[in-house]
Amino acid sequence: MMEPAAYLLLSGILFGIGVVGVVARKNALIILMSVEIMLNGVNVAFIAVGSHLGDVTGSVFAFMVMTVAAAEAAVGLAILIAIYRLKETIDITELNVLKW
């Protein structure tokens, strides 16, 4: 069995890319994609640790995360469509009806 450290490195990279994407991007769709990358990074960590320990909890957790991510994506896309219809943009810096 390979050491999980390499997989954890990968998961750290994915999570980091996601975090940077959320913080740095202005397009709400890209931010949504970055969040999904974060969640996938988490999944890699769960599966790596689970298989290293010979424990199914990790894999089950990854399944749950995937489902939740899909539900989140569906709701997020719906909100984006609604906002695009009203405003013709999904640039978050232009959302200023409410003070940030």
Partner 1 sequence: MANFVSSIRFSDPYFSVLLMLGIGVGMAVAFVLLSQALGPKRYDRVKYSVYECGVDPFTTASVRIPVKFYLIALLFILFDLESAFIYPWAVLFRQLGWFGFIEMGIFILILLAGLIYAWKKGALEWQ
Partner 2 sequence: MSPIPIDAAALLTGLRCILPEILVVATAIFVLFVDLMIPEENKRILCGISLIGVVISLFSVFLLGPARISGFSGAVVHDGLGAFFEIVILAACALTLLMATGYSEWEGTHKGEFYSLLLLSTSGMMFMAKGTDLMTVFLGLETLSIPIYVLVGFHRHRMSSIEGALKYFLLGAFASGFFLYGVALMYAATGTTKIPALAAMLLDARLAANPVFLAGVGLLLVGLAFKVSLVPFHMWTPDAYEGAPTVVTAFMSAAVKAAAFAALIRVLLLTFGGLQPVMWKVLWALSVLTMTVGNLSALLQDNVKRMLAYSSIAHAGYVLVGLVSGDFLGGQAALFYLLVYAFMNIGAFGVVILIAQKEDEGYDIRNLAGIGFKYPALGAFLTLFLVSLGGIPPTAGFVGKFYLFSAAVKNGYIWLAVLGVLNSAASIYYYLRLVVYMYMVPAEGEMPVPRPSRLAFSAALFASGAAVLLLGIFPGSALDLAARSVLSLLM
Q: Is 78 in the site for partner 1 (CB under 8 A)?
A: yes
| Residue 3 phi, psi (nearest 5) | -60, 140
Q: Is 72 in the site for partner 2 (CB under 8 A)?
A: yes
Q: Is 65 in the site for partner 1 (CB under 8 A)?
A: no
Q: Are 18 and 37 in contact, with CB atoms under 8 Å apart?
A: yes
For residue 38, count other CB atoms closer than 10 A to its CB: 20
Q: Is 71 in the site for partner 1 (CB under 8 A)?
A: yes
Minimum Å gap between C-beta 22 and partner 2 is: 5
- Which among 67, 60, 47, 33 is positioned nearest to 2, based on CA atoms? 47
Minimum Å gap between C-beta 66 and partner 2 is: 12
Which residue in 53, 55, 57, 77 binds partner 1 (CB under 8 A)? Answer: 77
With a CB cutoff of 8 Å and minimum separation 6, the contacts of 46 are 58, 59, 61, 62, 65
Q: Is 33 in the site for partner 2 (CB under 8 A)?
A: no
Sites of contact with partner 1 (CB under 8 A): 4-6, 8-17, 19-21, 24, 63, 66-67, 70-71, 73-74, 77-78, 81
